[in-house]
Amino acid sequence: MRLRVRHTTTFTYSAPIVEAYTELRLRPLDVDGQRCTSFRVVTEPHGVRMHAFADHLGNVVGHFDILEPHDKLTVTATSEVSTAPFDDPTPPTPLELYDYLCPSRYAVIDPTVEAFAAEHAGDGDAESRAQALMQAIRSGFVYDKTATSVSTPAPEVLTLRRGVCQDFAHLLIASCRSAGIPARYVSGYLLDDALADDRGATHAWADVHDAKRGWISLDPTHGREQDEAYVRLAVGRDYSDVPPTRGVFKGKADETLAVAVDVRAL
């Protein structure tokens, strides 16, 4: 499948700021059958020189500075991507095993998460146990944009029994790690015809590792594996590793963030 993604982020400041540094994780990955065939970033103010590097997780990170005073910054990333069902037999390195089995900032493991994992994971191989945990989240939790924030940890999601895709991914990851299954966070997009005129948002799901099959990509929000409707942007221990935009600035001002995403089939 070929998809076009337009992701616009607008930072608005209550007073002019100077010396702003911004990181972007907005270029789709070239990995496991997915290919980014076109990628362009436009900023306002114009004339920004973009640089890029690959972080230690293999994600493409763009970054730029703006030194002139401004009270608004708009970043629009447009991508065209050839997608494919996810299939990655690559075994994790020892460091990845450590990272993807340990608790992290938002994929917190506490007694409530351990009890949830023990109740729903069951027996069998890593794939079957992870699938069971995914379905338990899918059937037992309510999608609610007002219930949580970007910094809500997995145990709080478990208590609330509601949240958004990021929350469900963190809970699945924490539960899998509690059950001894390596798991990592995936940020990206999903083409969803049910959105109608509201053509999309950023999405989050999880990869889990099975010794026989390799990495398996599971979406607990929809209770299914990643297919051609998904676009992978970045992977990490949790959301704190892979925010689409992140930055710092110099100035005495309050910042307001607005995001608009449009995903369409070509």
Q: Give the angle subtended at the CA of 144 by the CAs of 141 and 147, to the nearest 5°.
A: 100
pTM, entire model: 0.95
pLDDT at 198 over 50: no
pLDDT tens sequence across 69-108: 999 999 999 999 999 999 899 999 999 999 999 999 999 9
Four-way CATH pick for 2-84+243-265: 3.40.920.10, 3.40.50.300, 2.60.40.420, 2.60.40.2250: 2.60.40.2250
Tell me: the pLDDT tens digits for 128-179? 999 999 999 999 999 999 999 999 999 999 999 999 999 999 999 999 999 9
* For residue 202, pLDDT beyond 50: yes
User: In percent, how much of the chain has pLDDT > 90?
Assistant: 88
pLDDT digits (tens, 9 = 90+) for 12-36: 999 999 888 999 999 999 998 999 9
Amino acid at 260: A
CATH topology of domain 94-240: C8orf32 fold (3.10.620)
Domain spans of the chain, in order of start: 2-84+243-265, 94-240
> What pLDDT sits at residue 192?
82
Q: For residue 195, what pLDDT is reported?
A: 56
- In whole numbers, what is the pLDDT of the chain averaged over residues? 94
Residue pLDDT, tens place only, 223-259 = 999 999 999 999 999 999 999 999 999 999 999 999 9
